[in-house]
Structure 1
Amino acid sequence: MPDSGELEIFRHSLKSIVEEMGTTLQRTAYSTNIKIRRDHTCALFDSELRHISQHDIAPQHIGSLVSVVPKNIPDWEDELSPGDGILINDPYKGAVHLPDVMLISPLFHDDEIIGYAANSAHHVDIGGGTPGGIPNDNTELYGEGMVIPGVHAVEDWEYDENVLSFILRNVREPKMRRGDYQAQLGANRIGEKRFVDLHETYGRERTNDYLDELLDYTERRVRAAIEKLPDGSFSASDEMDGDGIVDEPVQLTLTVTIEGDEMTVDFTGTAEENRGPLNCTPAMAFAGVMSVAMAFIGEDLPKNDGFYRPFEVITPEGTMVNPTQNRPVAAGWEIPMRAADLMTKAMAEPVPEQTIGATKGIVCNTAFGGRDPRDDEEYVYYETVAGGYGGRAEKDGMDAVQTHFQNTANSPIEELETELPVYVRKYALIQDSEGAGRQRGGLGVRRDLEFYDHEASFSLLTDRTKSQPWGVFGGNPARAARFYRNPETDEEEPLPSKSTTKLEPNDVVSIQTPGGGGYGDPLERDPDAVLEDVQNDKVSEEKARTEYGVVITQNDVDYEATEERRRELSENGPANGGDHE
């Protein structure tokens, strides 16, 4: 049995392999979504299909990789050879939404399978009726793009050109898509080289012993961390916008039960499956709640099969977190994002000092495409836009960040304007979008895009326009999401959170994401902190007065007037700002 030092070296050897796989995928990819935004993940599995290590870049792919590989590889492993690869994106075989395509490769040493390298990458187009793979009005999976149920697509580290050509004929911008598929292949090949090196260093028997001990050690650490949390059942629920077909809110509910060294997250009470694309697979739901569970547990723990053993996630069949076969799931990631917020809300009772106000609460799927007037070539683009993080017990929420499992970067203006026929007309924090609190929430983001000299298709598949990110312990809610065509003009048109809009040349689209909810009573916020936010144009003087009770005169705090104002607000009940212009 290895001592703790040896085990830690072994653990980080595994981690370095998946990190190098991820770097390879990122640096050789063609699309902005992967090479800049880093919407990809790499993982390793052992010969028993146990998850042994994962790249930390995109935690949302936790659910898909740990679901897809053990569920599907047994159907293939007897006919796999060195250099083979399986492509899959089928949501009903353990995957997530269709743009997230996984490549799984067996790893051989001395003619035996010693493990599997796997990666997931978000392809900005997977076919379907709208550019970007996020149609808002489909009632069947088939309309969302190409379903890959598990295809033997690679032999001897080369794609079967018949298979790859078939895939590329069904997507927009095939040259760029080809580059991304090749990058996935290169990542797995690096995984094989490094994992074989590891086996040659340690030997087969010793490697397996170390893996057994690493997974058991991880489980012991996780169980010990859960055991420190108070026992009990804690519930939370929220309403999401309509599903793209029916314009009525739907309820998402979960209950966290902690019993000794085990934790259960149960989605019983969640709405039935939707007709439209607001459904998610169990793998997505798992990823959403596990990303937050990891945060509450804390510590630098390995992410592997041992980590997940003390958890159970219950997703009732026929609900929007476990839809029946071939229901659409394009908007699926919006559900686990809100579920992640509900985890923090439920945990506010047992661990109030560790929780946060609601975050922006949306992935903010955005896609657009058309014909580039600069070269007359077709283009397509997908991204998600950051927003506010929830206020915390001791710190304000962060401004303009991706939250919970979402770790993708915001695309730089220079990258967008170079790669695409758009001008970024505004890219800024949204004043007064935060939820007021003793610790305020983070600010949302406004991103205005002008589509010059061409017609374009612009799609939204997101949420949070009808409800606001909540505050906790007396904190106020944050501003909801808003989307517009040609904002602040005579032609201004609000856009639904799930919509596809045909744009005329030189139209402008404004994406405005929510802020984060506040933590604690806004009247307890340090007046000087409010002044600093006003000076930085994050909070208006009016909101400082009406919600924080801070009176600012000539760019300074009027402490006497502030004391009087706070007394007045306190006597008249808590200040609850609601949604702000």
Structure 2
Amino acid sequence: MDTATFAELGRLPGPPTRERVPVDPITMRVLTGAFRATAQEMAGVLFRMSYSSIIRESEDLGCGLFDHEGREICESESTPMHIGSLPWYIRGFMRRLKGKIREGDVIIHNHPYHGASHTPDIAVAVPVFFEGELLGFSAVTAHVLDVGGSFPGVNADAFDVYAEGKLYDGLRLYQGGELNEDLDRHLFENVRTEDMNRGDMNAMIASCELGRRRMVELCARYGVDTVMSSAYDLMDYSERMLRQEIEKLPDGEYTAPTAWLDDDARNRDVRLRVETKVIVEGGDISIDLTGSNAEVPTGYNVPYEGSLLVGAYFAIRTILLDEATFPEYVPQNEGVFRPVKVIAPKGTIFNPNFPRACFSRFCQVQRVVDNTILALADVLPEKVTAGNSAHVNFCSYSGFLEEQQQYWIYLEVNEGSYGGRFGKDGMDSVDNLMANTRNNPIEELDMRFPIRNEQYELRPEPAAPGRWRGGLGIVRRNRFLVDGTYSSEGDRHTDPPRGILGGWDGLTASLVKNPDGEAPEELPAKVTGAPFAAGELLQILGPNAAGYGNPLDRPPGDVREDVLDDFTSIELARDAYGVVIEPGTLEVDGPATEKLRAELRGRHADGNGSLIDHVSSNPSERRPNPISAASERAFSE
């Protein structure tokens, strides 16, 4: 097996060697918009044409244009994991195909030790030629339903990289415009969902062809030198803007509290350590994961290039160049990758040795992003959030269709929640950090699959207290109508989101089989091929994120509104916020509140609180807010 050495991993290409020409500001602005619009148009084609709901509804995809060495020119506004990994996919398959690429080729790739994010995220790339010159690639990635691993859909407990799915290492599905029919048969006859995979692959090819045409049209209209010079100048601009923000940080090392992942999907009750240090040196920033857990014998490892680096790029870009608050538009391209380095010793879960499986790598990367945010809380208090859900409950429901001799597989990404942030409460029931996928509508589930959704709403437990409270996760109940299997990769069943600057910690997640039955069964976050009989029910609880700032600083009127809206209870308003609310009138008792807050400030001057003592430890016994009925009466009056 020819794998890159550790020294080569993560090495960006040097400066482009193509001679540049001056580009006037107006043309530059026009091409900036054209690049961005092209990536968005590619994404639109992909999610509109795809067969599977994970692409069509959740938009678990990424699209963009890249130069011949994989430098990112532009990207769609979709899942960050897909987009940031595409440069590494391209560099991965170019190791094998360099010098063997022709116009009309369609390349597929998913090798996690050659740049892919993990095996189900298949990339399709089409070379972009103009007047005989290879300029680069129009490329997409998307999560396909099945890649032929040991279990349908999700394989958290895979033995090695071969067991997690089929490996496509720079294969040319089309060569010079001609379909490789043998490869086509091999691709789609060795997966459980042939029709769905084929439909999704055709959509990916169509998206790439659109991107290729748009790039060629730009070159024909403005000239290839102008187009490529603009692309490279924009990369330099984005790099300068990010370095400028990094340089505002004091040089030094900033360390996050140790985070703990639940287990490796096989060795239960053995938690995995995540250590994160952020190092600032001038205009460079490094994320050092030294001290994190050794690699594990399951699919719970992280591809270094295609997943870990992408998470680091996302974390720094999101904190320092937030598009919602930053005064200037900074294009997302190769330039924002250059100032960011990642240190992950070989042989750890964040830089495993071949042939370790890497199927279920998302939760670990989420925790690196969350830790990076927490590490910078003291130095950037107005730009960070409190601890986020920082997980992904990505699950697969499946069964076999006798009449079609194929499987049905339904992939579902269950939402998380954001921690409170300066000036705002945390967002509820929204996909979190690196994921950025949309939720699958319950109508999609009920109409197309033998499963029925019986509950889908915000968790009833209180939000984590803080000057700005944390967001709420979801509760979702799905019932099997036929015999089938359930698999998932998840986490955060043991380590709650961390409160910052006096905010309280959040709540952990849970999975419960038959929660209303005589013997409800708590399931671990990572499950592979768990059997469910027709009629059995699964309950999913997503984490509640953490609070930001001292809850005693939250205005009493805001606490009352939280009580009325079921974000907190009368008891927690008193214990955490020091706000006394009369149960009968639901009004704030001002003098009593002032007195209680003074007492609590003296008693709890330091340290964050925890919600654990305020809710039942048994998910099947957790009750809705006890003042819900009173709230309804108050509003009706």
TM interval, shorter chain, is over 0.9
In the alignment, which of 301, 312, 319 is matched to residue 279 of structure 1? 301
Contact preservation (8 Å) 2:70, 2:88: no
Structure-2 residue corresponding to 1:296: 319
In the alignment, which of 355, 380, 387 is matched to residue 351 of structure 1? 380
- 1:228-377 residue pairs with structure 2 within 5 A? 228-236=248-256, 237-247=258-268, 248-283=270-305, 284-298=307-321, 299=326, 300-371=329-400
Q: Distance in 2 between matches of 1:48 and 1:359?
A: 35
CA-CA distance at 1:285 after TM superposition = 1.2
Structure-2 residue corresponding to 1:468: 496
CA-CA distance at 1:158 after TM superposition = 5.8
In the alignment, which of 551, 564, 567 is matched to residue 535 of structure 1? 564
Aligned to 1:428, the other structure's residue is in SS state strand
Contact preservation (8 Å) 2:96, 2:170: no
CA deviation profile, 1:523-552 (whole Å, cap 9, x unmatched): 221222222222122222232222222232
Q: Which one-letter code corresponds to 1:41 in the other structure?
A: G
Aligned to 1:448, the other structure's residue is in SS state strand
Task: Report the CA distance shift for 1:139/1:382 in structure 2 as closer, same or farther (over 3 A).
Answer: same
Structure-2 residue corresponding to 1:214: 234
Structure-2 residue corresponding to 1:492: 520
CA-CA distance at 1:371 after TM superposition = 3.5
Q: Distance in 1 between matches of 2:405 and 2:462?
A: 39
Structure-1 residue corresponding to 2:18: none
- 1:79-478 residue pairs with structure 2 within 5 A? 79-132=100-153, 134-157=154-177, 159-236=179-256, 237-247=258-268, 248-283=270-305, 284-298=307-321, 299=326, 300-371=329-400, 378-452=407-481, 454-478=482-506
Q: Answer yes or no: is 1:480 the counterpart of 2:508.
A: yes
How does the TM-score come out when normalised to structure 2? 0.88
CA deviation profile, 1:157-205 (whole Å, cap 9, x unmatched): 5642321221222212211111001001001100111010010011122
Task: Report the CA distance shift for 1:373/1:74 in structure 2 as closer, same or farther (over 3 A).
Answer: closer
Contact preservation (8 Å) 1:433, 1:479: no
Aligned to 1:468, the other structure's residue is in SS state coil
Q: Distance in 1 between matches of 2:488 and 2:101?
A: 40
How does the TM-score come out when normalised to structure 1? 0.96
CA deviation profile, 1:85-135 (whole Å, cap 9, x unmatched): 111111011112211001111112222222211110001211122221x22
Structure-2 residue corresponding to 1:559: 590
CA deviation profile, 1:495-526 (whole Å, cap 9, x unmatched): 11111320011111011000111001112212
Aligned to 1:60, the other structure's residue is in SS state helix
Contact preservation (8 Å) 1:391, 1:439: yes
Q: Distance in 2 between matches of 1:559 and 1:328?
A: 59
Task: Report the CA distance shift for 1:126/1:377 in structure 2 as closer, same or farther (over 3 A).
Answer: closer
Q: Which moved more, 1:567-576 or 1:417-426?
A: 567-576
Aligned to 2:537, the other structure's residue is in SS state strand
The unaligned stretches of length 5 or more in structure 1 are none
CA-CA distance at 1:427 after TM superposition = 0.4
CA-CA distance at 1:433 after TM superposition = 4.9
CA deviation profile, 1:16-56 (whole Å, cap 9, x unmatched): 11111111111110010001100000121123432211112
Q: Which one-letter code corresponds to 1:479 in the other structure?
A: L
Q: Distance in 1 between matches of 2:242 and 2:28?
A: 17
CA-CA distance at 1:487 after TM superposition = 1.1
CA deviation profile, 1:55-98 (whole Å, cap 9, x unmatched): 12111123321212123225324222222111111101111221
Aligned to 1:441, the other structure's residue is in SS state coil
Structure-1 residue corresponding to 2:89: 68
CA deviation profile, 1:459-501 (whole Å, cap 9, x unmatched): 1211100110010011111110011001133131111111132
Task: Report the CA distance shift for 1:403/1:159 in structure 2 as closer, same or farther (over 3 A).
Answer: farther
Aligned to 1:70, the other structure's residue is in SS state helix
Root-mean-square deviation (Å): 1.8
Q: Which moved more, 1:391-400 or 1:363-372?
A: 363-372
Task: Report the CA distance shift for 1:371/1:550 in structure 2 as closer, same or farther (over 3 A).
Answer: farther
Q: Distance in 2 between matches of 1:505 and 1:200?
A: 59
CA-CA distance at 1:328 after TM superposition = 1.3
In the alignment, which of 511, 522, 525 is matched to residue 540 of structure 2? 511
Q: Distance in 2 between matches of 1:91 and 1:257?
A: 27
Q: Which one-letter code corresponds to 2:367 in the other structure?
A: R
Task: Report the CA distance shift for 1:376/1:155 in structure 2 as closer, same or farther (over 3 A).
Answer: closer
In the alignment, which of 24, 28, 35 is matched to residue 45 of structure 2? 24
Q: Which moved more, 1:13-22 or 1:60-69?
A: 60-69
Q: Distance in 1 between matches of 2:454 and 2:116?
A: 37
Q: Which moved more, 1:475-484 or 1:527-536?
A: 527-536
CA deviation profile, 1:431-468 (whole Å, cap 9, x unmatched): 2353211100000101100111x111011211100110
Q: Distance in 2 between matches of 1:5 and 1:431?
A: 53
Structure-2 residue corresponding to 1:570: 601
Q: Distance in 1 between matches of 2:405 and 2:172?
A: 35
Contact preservation (8 Å) 2:417, 2:427: yes
Q: Distance in 2 between matches of 1:556 and 1:374?
A: 62
Q: Distance in 1 between matches of 2:462 and 2:373?
A: 20
The unaligned stretches of length 5 or more in structure 2 are 1-21, 617-637
Q: Distance in 2 between matches of 1:103 and 1:433?
A: 44
Q: Which one-letter code corresponds to 1:47 in the other structure?
A: H
Aligned to 1:192, the other structure's residue is in SS state helix
Q: Distance in 2 between matches of 1:431 and 1:563?
A: 28
Q: Which one-letter code corresponds to 1:24 in the other structure?
A: V
Q: Distance in 1 between matches of 2:594 and 2:231?
A: 61
